[in-house]
A and B are shown apart, each in its own frame.
Chain A
Amino acid sequence: MTPLDHLLLLSALTAVFTLAAGNIRSAGWIATLLYAAQGLALVKMWGMGYGPEVADSSISFQLLGQTMHWRFDSLSWFFALITVGAGFFSSWFASGGWADHYRAQGNSLRLFHSALALNVFSMLVLLASGDLLSLFIGWELVSWASFLIMGLASTRAMGYAMRYLTYAIAGAMAILMGIVMVHAQTGSFEFAALAAAVPGMSNGTLWLLLLLFGGGFGVKMALVPVHLWQAKAYAETPGPGAAFLGAISSRMGLFALILVIIQLVGIGRLVGMSIPYTFLDARDLLAWVAVFTMIFPTYIALRQHDARRLLAWHGVGQTGYMLLGVVIMDDLGSAGGLMHVFNYATYQAMLFMSVSAIMYRTGTADLNQLGGLVTRMPLTFIAMLVGIIGLAGLPPMNGFVSKWLIYRSLVAEGMPLLFVGAVIGTLGTILSVYKLIHNSFLGQLRLEHAKVEEAPWSMTLPMLSLAAIVFLTGYFPGVVLDWISALQASVGLPVLAHHLGGVHFAQGGLDMIWINSLLIAGIAIGALIFYSTGRSQRVHQLDNYAGGHFLSADVRYQYSDNFYPGLLHLIGPWYRKSFRWAESALVSLTDALSLAMQGLYRQVQPSIYLLITVVIALSWVNIR
């Protein structure tokens, strides 16, 4: 039994346990412990976070002359760490009060916990894949596990999950096509065989492979233009499930993309594949897809008034940063993109959890029906505050470091338009996360929420732990960068030289220890100045300047709906819903074709039809 076997076995055990006993009260806690045990199994493979070790699994089998095997390297380890971590925190969150609440609503806790465990398990299997065939198997397992967790909540959720499924199957088919093509070219499903065959492939073949694999993996990552499925499906997933999916699920696409396109095909080939009649090559294409993925979903998020949808749309947008960073493929950029995977997982999980906590207490995630909760749920507020600072990429949280790395590498590589695109995405993020926190936690507390309490500790503790992680990895980004440089080495990307506080770089480096200490010192001085003068007097929220108007508790005095009217007045007409239109046109086309085909099968004169068929078939043969 290798360490990898232990990990997979533990994960499978978690799935079996939750399936068998997911309904008992303490199931969530036990599952959480099991995730922690998986984390320990990962720690046993700690070396992979820092060096070029590879752990093989003793499981493998042969079929049709092909061997399927599983192994972990630094790339898998990094993603597995996030996966297990996300599983751990989500399960923790879902253990106490949330579970009772969920059950009281008539849902099956067993189904939820086992879906979560299956997700973790299938992702680990995917991450461990050692050849294209096991990659595809893992891929399908992940797709179906996500479908399960997405669809189990409600009829509406199932509708969105169905949409996901259609996209996912289409993506999987593209991948399968790619794999089959590789097999046709090399006669093998091994990674090494593909890597060896790449230099001999023509650009056309590579383009086809790139589009197939990229398209397939892109569906999971919800890259533009196949991004429509994700946000709604994630938003409707039960709280901790959404936290888990948002944190890591679509990162599997990035993992596979790095594995196949970056590690096996390689950057050299991508740059060499130019698009005729443009200045672009394959890498630029990916980079631009990434930038559009940043911009469009982020600005769709700006218009959402359901907190979960808003976050989920951001999830789509943030994928763009990761992909952009990775496809820049220098040391800074790829480190930034990969670090963003980690950072994003930490704060996105936390944000979804805080929104779930709000829903748990108030029963709604509609931003137009919340407000002023900061005095009632201060711990949840802290979690969300840390989360949005991270999501917006401001210091002192970890989100800043990864975005800084990406920006810095774009400057170093001289990619101005991508840079501007990325900044546009970030600005949109800042706008909408402020709307999120303002409309839920700040502003006027509604009368009906006056008696709301803080969420129970089983929910606040995981959030606060994540907040601590977000802050600490922002303070000491070197910890994460260690893992990432090991990853870069194993994938074949240039390795980023770094230290505990960030990167030392002759042309303007970054030292987060200094930066954060400076910021904290500055705010401390600000506090000193503030508190050194007269005592402040807390006043009631209705003691507020309203142009001389008398406010009373029943007056809704909160500015929430259509939060950015000026901006949307200008850019509102730019939302054309083109992708939605294209999607529904495709569905309508399929519907029409379907009806036509049914007409074909229902025709009333079979004999005439048959005669025609025979004549056509015979003449076809005879013409040839």
Chain B
Amino acid sequence: MSWQELLLELTLMPLLAFVIGLAMVLMMRRIAAQIQRRVGPPLLQPIYDIVKLYSKQTQISHGFIHELGIMMAVGGYIAAEALLPVPGMDGLADKGGLITLIYFLMVPTLGMALGVGQCANPNGSIGISRALTAMLAYDIPFVIVVFGVAFHYQTTNLAEIAAIQQAHGVSGWGMMEMPLLALAALFALQGMMGKQPFEVYIAPAEIATGPMVEMSGKFMGGLFVMQSFQYYTAGVLYTILFLGGGENWLTFLPKIFAVVAIPMTIAMLFPRFRTEDLVRLMWKWPVMAGLLGLAFVMN
């Protein structure tokens, strides 16, 4: 691959991710509206929101780390998109595989946590404390899944994982070969995306949206951008691990939207768990399913 092509890919991948992510945000809000029998926001609402936030006159900053946090949150995801292979574009998938990606995705979280920390708002700190606890909760089933998949395909290269699945058709999909792991991953996905019932770290009425409490203007805008990347990443990652990745965009897009739609639908049906209940739940059912699935994979 020539460097021009690579550069093109590296530019396109985050851009595409952003656009698709925006559509996913819209989809989430539409799903919520549908379930609540509302009309829901107009088509371009996510763009309106982001443009409005970035065009605020007052941008209240609590210091450089506050700003750096937002840069890391957005930048970390922009970088992570280059590691996620999509149809026709592998990006840098061979330079760092699944494990690298998992760690990469912690960089935005850390950035956000730092930024929130400097705001000196206890609501924000409480939110981060809960978010990290939640991460501890959902990452354990998730790493079981990651291990199972990586061991099953004997590789951590995401492009290869997708390729192996595509070689065997639908029956070769990870979901078919490792249904229990796919289930556990879905559980973890709900937590990773921070959707109800696992959104105690946002808890608007209790801690005033937790980490976001002091975020205004472009800070908040950055978080909106991050959210769209986050949805996209979650969808693509799950699709690559369990739904055969993408042979072409026509099959790929429905898959990732479907993946993201599931947690969003579930989210609107449930109230919120307390932190300790969240941890308990995550460490119980998805871990059990994951370990059982792992046992099938390992034998």
Interface contact B114-A442, CB-CB below 8 Å = yes
- Rounded to whole Å, the gap between the CB of A572 and the closest CB of chain B is 10
* Assembly CA distance A51 to B67 (angstroms): 47
Instruction: Name B83's closest neighbour in chain A (CB-CB).
Output: A518
Within A528-543, the residues touching B (CB, 8 Å) are 529-530, 533-539, 541, 543
Interface contact A566-B136, CB-CB below 8 Å = no
* Assembly CA distance A597 to B191 (angstroms): 61
Instruction: Name B153's closest neighbour in chain A (CB-CB).
Output: A507
From the candidates A395, A427, A570, name the one contacting B100 in the complex (CB within 8 A): A395
- Mask: chain B, 116-143; 1 = CB below 8 Å from A; 0 = not: 0111111101101110110110011001
Instruction: Name B94's closest neighbour in chain A (CB-CB).
Output: A509
Interface contact B129-A563, CB-CB below 8 Å = yes
Asked whether A524 is an interface residue with its Cβ less than 8 Å from the other chain, the reply is yes
Asked whether B30 is an interface residue with its Cβ less than 8 Å from the other chain, the reply is no
Asked whether A144 is an interface residue with its Cβ less than 8 Å from the other chain, the reply is no
Interface contact A570-B279, CB-CB below 8 Å = yes
Within B237-268, the residues touching A (CB, 8 Å) are none
Asked whether A240 is an interface residue with its Cβ less than 8 Å from the other chain, the reply is no
- Mask: chain A, 532-573; 1 = CB below 8 Å from B; 0 = not: 011111110101111100000000011100011111011100
From the candidates B72, B120, B125, name the one contacting A526 in the complex (CB within 8 A): B72
* Assembly CA distance A253 to B194 (angstroms): 43
Instruction: Name B136's closest neighbour in chain A (CB-CB).
Output: A427
Which secondary structure dominates where chain B touches chain A? helix
Interface contact A375-B125, CB-CB below 8 Å = no
From the candidates A535, A544, A558, A567, name the one contacting B136 in the complex (CB within 8 A): A567
Interface contact B59-A416, CB-CB below 8 Å = no
Q: Which residues of A contact B144 (CB under 8 A)?
A: 416, 420
Asked whether A393 is an interface residue with its Cβ less than 8 Å from the other chain, the reply is yes
From the candidates A428, A445, A523, name the one contacting B72 in the complex (CB within 8 A): A523
Given known contacts A394-B106, A534-B55, A536-B61, A545 and B157 CB-to-CB distance under 8 angstroms: no
Interface contact B96-A394, CB-CB below 8 Å = no
Interface contact A545-B104, CB-CB below 8 Å = no
Q: Which residues of B contact A410 (CB under 8 A)?
A: 147
From the candidates B95, B150, B294, name the one contacting A515 in the complex (CB within 8 A): B95
Within B26-72, the residues touching A (CB, 8 Å) are 54-63, 65, 67, 70-72
Within B256-284, the residues touching A (CB, 8 Å) are 274-276, 278-280
- Mask: chain A, 424-435; 1 = CB below 8 Å from B; 0 = not: 100110110010
Instruction: Name B217's closest neighbour in chain A (CB-CB).
Output: A534
Asked whether B75 is an interface residue with its Cβ less than 8 Å from the other chain, the reply is yes
Interface contact B61-A539, CB-CB below 8 Å = yes
Q: Which residues of A contact B288 (CB under 8 A)?
A: none
Asked whether B178 is an interface residue with its Cβ less than 8 Å from the other chain, the reply is no
Interface contact A527-B63, CB-CB below 8 Å = no
Q: Which residues of A contact B136 (CB under 8 A)?
A: 427-428, 431, 567
Q: Which residues of A contact B54 (CB under 8 A)?
A: 533-534
Instruction: Name B60's closest neighbour in chain A (CB-CB).
Output: A539
From the candidates B119, B132, B139, name the one contacting A564 in the complex (CB within 8 A): B132
Q: Which residues of B contact A533 (CB under 8 A)?
A: 54-55, 59, 218, 221
Interface contact B276-A570, CB-CB below 8 Å = yes
Q: Which residues of A contact B61 (CB under 8 A)?
A: 536-539
Interface contact A559-B129, CB-CB below 8 Å = yes
Interface contact A518-B70, CB-CB below 8 Å = no
Interface contact A395-B143, CB-CB below 8 Å = no
Q: Which residues of A contact B275 (CB under 8 A)?
A: 565-567, 569-570
Asked whether B289 is an interface residue with its Cβ less than 8 Å from the other chain, the reply is no
Asked whether B73 is an interface residue with its Cβ less than 8 Å from the other chain, the reply is yes
Instruction: Name A522's closest neighbour in chain B (CB-CB).
Output: B79
Asked whether A586 is an interface residue with its Cβ less than 8 Å from the other chain, the reply is no
- Rounded to whole Å, the gap between the CB of B245 and the closest CB of chain A is 15
Asked whether A525 is an interface residue with its Cβ less than 8 Å from the other chain, the reply is yes
Q: Which residues of B contact A407 (CB under 8 A)?
A: 99
Q: Which residues of B contact A537 (CB under 8 A)?
A: 58-61
Interface contact A567-B279, CB-CB below 8 Å = yes
Q: Which residues of A contact B278 (CB under 8 A)?
A: 566
Instruction: Name B98's closest neighbour in chain A (CB-CB).
Output: A508
- Rounded to whole Å, the gap between the CB of B21 and the closest CB of chain A is 15
Interface contact A545-B94, CB-CB below 8 Å = no
Size band of the interface chain B makes with A? 35 or more
Instruction: Name B150's closest neighbour in chain A (CB-CB).
Output: A411
Asked whether A141 is an interface residue with its Cβ less than 8 Å from the other chain, the reply is no
Q: Which residues of B contact A411 (CB under 8 A)?
A: 99, 147, 150-151, 156
Interface contact A438-B125, CB-CB below 8 Å = yes
- Rounded to whole Å, the gap between the CB of B166 and the closest CB of chain A is 17
- Rounded to whole Å, the gap between the CB of B95 and the closest CB of chain A is 4
- Rounded to whole Å, the gap between the CB of A393 and the closest CB of chain B is 7
Q: Which residues of A contact B83 (CB under 8 A)?
A: 518
Asked whether A190 is an interface residue with its Cβ less than 8 Å from the other chain, the reply is no
- Rounded to whole Å, the gap between the CB of A419 and the closest CB of chain B is 5
Interface contact B132-A438, CB-CB below 8 Å = no
Interface contact B117-A404, CB-CB below 8 Å = no
Asked whether A443 is an interface residue with its Cβ less than 8 Å from the other chain, the reply is yes
Q: Which residues of A contact B155 (CB under 8 A)?
A: 506-508
From the candidates B62, B128, B225, name the one contacting A538 in the complex (CB within 8 A): B62
Instruction: Name B218's closest neighbour in chain A (CB-CB).
Output: A533
Interface contact B92-A514, CB-CB below 8 Å = yes
Within A352-374, the residues touching B (CB, 8 Å) are 371-372, 374
* Assembly CA distance A511 to B278 (angstroms): 36
Q: Which residues of A contact B218 (CB under 8 A)?
A: 530, 533-534, 536
Instruction: Name A545's closest neighbour in chain B (CB-CB).
Output: B213
* Assembly CA distance A534 to B51 (angstroms): 12
Most A CB within 10 A of own CB, among B56, B140, B151: B151
From the candidates B60, B71, B117, B133, name the one contacting A530 in the complex (CB within 8 A): B71
Instruction: Name A445's closest neighbour in chain B (CB-CB).
Output: B120
Q: Which residues of A contact B70 (CB under 8 A)?
A: 526, 530
Asked whether A437 is an interface residue with its Cβ less than 8 Å from the other chain, the reply is yes
Interface contact B132-A519, CB-CB below 8 Å = no
Asked whether A37 is an interface residue with its Cβ less than 8 Å from the other chain, the reply is no
Asked whether A408 is an interface residue with its Cβ less than 8 Å from the other chain, the reply is yes
Asked whether A459 is an interface residue with its Cβ less than 8 Å from the other chain, the reply is no
* Assembly CA distance A431 to B80 (angstroms): 22
Q: Which residues of B contact A375 (CB under 8 A)?
A: 63
Interface contact A509-B279, CB-CB below 8 Å = no
- Rounded to whole Å, the gap between the CB of A546 and the closest CB of chain B is 8
Asked whether A389 is an interface residue with its Cβ less than 8 Å from the other chain, the reply is yes
Interface contact B129-A414, CB-CB below 8 Å = no
Interface contact A519-B123, CB-CB below 8 Å = no
Asked whether B160 is an interface residue with its Cβ less than 8 Å from the other chain, the reply is yes
Given known contacts A442-B65, A507-B157, A526 and B133 CB-to-CB distance under 8 angstroms: no
Instruction: Name A515's closest neighbour in chain B (CB-CB).
Output: B96
Interface contact A430-B132, CB-CB below 8 Å = yes
Asked whether A444 is an interface residue with its Cβ less than 8 Å from the other chain, the reply is yes
From the candidates B62, B71, B154, B225, name the one contacting A523 in the complex (CB within 8 A): B71
Asked whether A111 is an interface residue with its Cβ less than 8 Å from the other chain, the reply is no
Asked whether B74 is an interface residue with its Cβ less than 8 Å from the other chain, the reply is yes
- Mask: chain A, 398-411; 1 = CB below 8 Å from B; 0 = not: 00100010011011
- Rounded to whole Å, the gap between the CB of B226 and the closest CB of chain A is 9
- Mask: chain B, 74-105; 1 = CB below 8 Å from A; 0 = not: 11111110110000000010111111100110
Within B187-216, the residues touching A (CB, 8 Å) are 200, 208, 213-214
* Assembly CA distance A508 to B102 (angstroms): 14
Given known contacts A416-B147, A423-B140, A514-B95, A544 and B280 CB-to-CB distance under 8 angstroms: no
Most A CB within 10 A of own CB, among B73, B114, B126, B217: B114
From the candidates B63, B119, B147, name the one contacting A544 in the complex (CB within 8 A): B119
Asked whether A521 is an interface residue with its Cβ less than 8 Å from the other chain, the reply is yes
* Assembly CA distance A354 to B75 (angstroms): 27
From the candidates A416, A510, A545, A557, name the one contacting B208 in the complex (CB within 8 A): A545
Q: Which residues of A contact B71 (CB under 8 A)?
A: 523, 526-527, 530
Interface contact B120-A525, CB-CB below 8 Å = no
Report 14 cross-chain contacts, Cβ distance below 8 Å, ordered by A residue: A394-B110, A395-B103, A438-B128, A442-B114, A507-B155, A518-B79, A518-B83, A519-B104, A522-B79, A526-B73, A544-B120, A558-B120, A558-B125, A570-B275
The 3 closest A-B pairs by CB, nearest first: A566-B275, A522-B79, A526-B75
